[in-house]
Amino acid sequence: MSRTLGALLLFTVAGWAQAQTTPEALDWLRKIYRATEKLSYSGTFVYQQGDRTETSRITRLADAAGGTEKLEVLDGTPREILRTRDEIRCYLPESRTVKVDRRSDPRAFPALLPEQVAGLTEYYVVTLGEMRRIAGFTCQAVVLTPKDDLRYGYRLWADAGSGMLLKAQTFDRDGQTMEQFTFTHLEIGNVSRERLRPPRAAQGWRVEQAGVAPADLSRSGWSVSAELPGFRKIVEIRRMLRDAQPVAQMVYSDGLAAVSVFIEPMPGRAEAARIGISSLGAVNVYTREVANHLVTVVGEAPAASVQRIGNTVEYRPQ
Amino acid sequence: MKAKISALMDGELDAQELNEPLSALGEDAEAFETWRTYHLISDALQGRALLANDCRRRVVARLADEPILIGPLPADVARPERARWLVPSALAASIAAVALVGWMAFAPQQKTGPLLASVAKAPQPAQVVAARAAPPAPVRLPMTAATRDYLIAHQALSPRNSLQGMAPYVRSVSAESHPGKP
């Protein structure tokens, strides 16, 4: 028994002595935020998850209107996403579809603002790591280690000069990398608006509007009780998904990681509901059925967390 | 049976496949010894000194002193061979649950699904109704084209974009979230 206690004590002390959040590390997160907001850049990055990699080009033009950004997948079919402050357009050549997600109020897109960075320390220990050279930039590592196993950790490498993020890894509780984004080439500044045009081929493609509107699900009898520690509801909307199918979406976040709960009536669905868990990189998707509705929980969080949130979805007729 | 016990530990069995090895653990001393040995090996490999302790004998001794609770079992659970392993006692239930949860906490995320299935099936005669009302155990599913719509809808609302701009959106249009069309 004393051996067990001793081992426990050792673990606790080791965990406590291991790391403390430093103000410098928090400043680095603010610096990365400002660089993401203020810089114009273009570059090529590789997304890695499992043994798969995919190369994409990203182009951003900062302007007074909040900036315009474009992501082009360079492997396989040329899928593209264009984002402005209040609109996101996905161009999908296989289905000749443009998916449009527009907000009348750009503040409806949640952000991790510099003044909210300190709040992360409730759930993560934020520390500075080593310096490393990535794609020609000397980078500072910032590590967010989760304080529990309800969320993943993050290793970020940002250019020591500009604060621009060059590399990001998501890791699980064993320190295993779940997915990784790495720039292989990056140029800061000098982006012409020409490069942010929508694809020419997309004229005549089918346009799917998300038709986002605010919602209050509790009024219609839905509840997500016993929320996961640290995950607070930050968004509650109604939207269209696929062929004009209305779906409710609630987003829970600890300030950095987010988990969406989608609720939609079952009858309109073409395919039968498949109950279970699937994953892509650090994203887990949990599907179950509640009161003849399909509940889909999507989150950049461990499968157990996504599942726990999903299992608390309840329907009580009013 | 050893292969099945190994698969059970790795969370590779479907809900339907769980019954056979779970029953064997209750009836077959050799099967149980295999289960224990495999856990010891796993614990040793992963350096988990705390879990490697063999508390089985002490637990069995405590169980002998526990009162036997009698309660109605639903038809599909009331199989005698399982009931024997599932010693109907609150302590047995909580120990089984703790053991599985403990294992889960240390297992890689991928294995959570099927292990949760075994937790849901843990013996809790007093709470059988509640256990049966729990949602069905999740299984591993591949990503489908339909999932991409959720990924796109989700990505736009993640605060993480603040630190990384558009890069995480690549998941929503990743070839893998749209299988069959590379």
> Among the listed ranges A104-108, B15-19, B55-59, B132-136, which one has the minimum average pLDDT value?
B132-136
Proportion of chain A above pLDDT 70, given as a percent: 89
Same domain for A225 and A197, yes or no, is no
Cβ within 8 Å, pair A307-B173: no
Residue A276 lies in a domain: yes
Same domain for A197 and A229, yes or no, is no
Closest CA–CA distance from residue B80 to any residue of chain A (Å): 30
Cβ within 8 Å, pair A81-B169: yes
Q: How confident is the model at residue B144 (pLDDT cuts 50, 70, 90)?
A: confident
Closest CA–CA distance from residue A142 to any residue of chain B (Å): 12
Q: What is the mean pLDDT of chain B?
A: 63
Cβ within 8 Å, pair B173-A277: no
Q: Is B76 exposed, middle or buried (0-12, 13-18, 19+ CB in 10 A)?
A: exposed
pLDDT higher than threshold 60 for residue B91: no
Same domain for A195 and A220, yes or no, is no
CB A81 within 8 A of CB A199: no
- Domain total of chain A: 2
> Among the listed ranges A33-47, A171-185, B13-27, B108-122, which one has the minimum average pLDDT value?
B108-122
- Report the CATH number that the domain containing residue A241 is assigned in CATH: 3.30.200.100
The rounded distance, in Å, linking the Cα atoms of A170 and A48 is 11
Given A150, A174, A202, the domain boundary residue is A202
Alpha-helical (H) ranges within chain B are 2-9, 19-27, 29-45, 56-65, 80-85, 90-106, 112-120, 128-133, 145-155, 161-164
Average pLDDT over residues A149-169: 96
Q: Is the pLDDT higher at A150 or at B122? A: A150
- Report the CATH number that the domain containing residue A147 is assigned in CATH: 2.50.20.10
| Cβ contacts from A onto B, under 8 A | 213
Average pLDDT over residues A162-177: 95
Same domain for A160 and A223, yes or no, is no
Q: How far is CA B167 from the centre of its chain?
A: 34
pLDDT (0 to 100) of residue A103: 76
Which chain B residues are within 8 Å of A274, Cβ to Cβ?
Answer: 141, 144
The rounded distance, in Å, linking the Cα atoms of A288 and A272 is 12
pLDDT higher than threshold 60 for residue B85: no
CA atoms A244, B181, A178, A187: torsion sign = negative
Q: Is B138 on the interface with A (CB under 8 A)?
A: yes
pLDDT higher than threshold 50 for residue A34: yes
Q: How far is CA A15 from the centre of its chain?
A: 28
Average pLDDT over residues B163-178: 77
Cβ within 8 Å, pair A69-B181: no
> Among the listed ranges A11-20, A32-41, A56-65, which one has the minimum average pLDDT value?
A11-20
Given A153, A180, A202, the domain boundary residue is A202
The rounded distance, in Å, linking the Cα atoms of A126 and B160 is 15
pLDDT tens digits, one per residue of A105-155:
766 677 888 888 999 999 999 999 999 999 999 999 999 999 999 999 999
Average pLDDT over residues A40-60: 93
Cβ within 8 Å, pair B109-A303: yes
pLDDT higher than threshold 80 for residue B44: no
Q: How many CB atoms lie within 10 A of CB B144?
A: 18
Nearest-by-CA chain A residue for B55: A1
The rounded distance, in Å, linking the Cα atoms of B83 and B85 is 5
Q: Is the pLDDT higher at B34 or at B45? A: B34
Phi and psi dihedrals of B55, rounded to 5?
-100, 5
pLDDT (0 to 100) of residue B2: 83
pLDDT higher than threshold 80 for residue A277: yes
Average pLDDT over residues B51-59: 60
Helix (H, G, I), strand (E, B) or coil at B8: helix
Q: How many CB atoms lie within 10 A of CB A257?
A: 27
The rounded distance, in Å, linking the Cα atoms of A242 and A151 is 29
CA-to-CA separations, A1 to A10, A101, B106, in angstroms, rounded = 14, 58, 22
pLDDT higher than threshold 80 for residue A208: yes
Proportion of chain B above pLDDT 90, given as a percent: 1
pLDDT (0 to 100) of residue A268: 54
User: pTM for this structure?
Assistant: 0.68
Amino acid at A108: A
- Which H or E run contains A70? strand A68-73
Nearest to A71 among B157, B160, B166 (CB): B166
Nearest-by-CA chain A residue for B158: A258
Nearest-by-CA chain B residue for A285: B147
CB A278 within 8 A of CB A298: no
Q: Is the pLDDT higher at A267 or at B90? A: A267
- B interface mutation test: which of A97, A176, A285, A290 has the most B CBs within 10 A? A285
Same domain for A32 and A164, yes or no, is yes
Q: Is the pLDDT higher at A72 or at B77? A: A72
pLDDT (0 to 100) of residue B74: 41
pLDDT higher than threshold 50 for residue A282: yes
Cβ within 8 Å, pair B171-A36: no
Q: Which domain holds residue A168?
A: 19-202
Candidates A108, A92, A110, A90; CA nearest to A100 is A90
Same domain for A32 and A154, yes or no, is yes
CB A158 within 8 A of CB A35: yes
Q: Is the pLDDT higher at A229 or at B132? A: A229
pLDDT (0 to 100) of residue A183: 97
Same domain for A54 and A70, yes or no, is yes
Same domain for A111 and A256, yes or no, is no
Same domain for A194 and A51, yes or no, is yes
pLDDT higher than threshold 60 for residue A20: yes
Same domain for A136 and A238, yes or no, is no
Residue A11 lies in a domain: no
pLDDT tens digits, one per residue of A58-97:
999 998 888 999 999 999 889 999 999 888 999 999 889 9
Cβ within 8 Å, pair B166-A262: no
Cβ within 8 Å, pair A311-B157: no
Nearest to A52 among B105, B167, B176 (CB): B176
Q: Is the pLDDT higher at B133 or at A74? A: A74
Same domain for A196 and A223, yes or no, is no
CB A313 within 8 A of CB A183: no
The rounded distance, in Å, linking the Cα atoms of A99 and B155 is 13
Average pLDDT over residues A265-293: 81
CB A77 within 8 A of CB A67: no
pLDDT (0 to 100) of residue A261: 94
Residue A272 lies in a domain: yes
Residue A7 lies in a domain: no
Q: How confident is the model at residue B176 (pLDDT cuts 50, 70, 90)?
A: low
Same domain for A38 and A155, yes or no, is yes
User: Which residue ranges make up each domain of chain B?
Assistant: 2-133, 145-177
Average pLDDT over residues A248-266: 92
Residue A3 lies in a domain: no
CA-to-CA separations, A159 to A49, A128, A186, in angstroms, rounded = 23, 13, 11
CB B37 within 8 A of CB B47: no
Given A202, A236, A265, the domain boundary residue is A202
Q: What is the mean pLDDT of chain A?
A: 88
Q: Is the pLDDT higher at B35 or at B74? A: B35
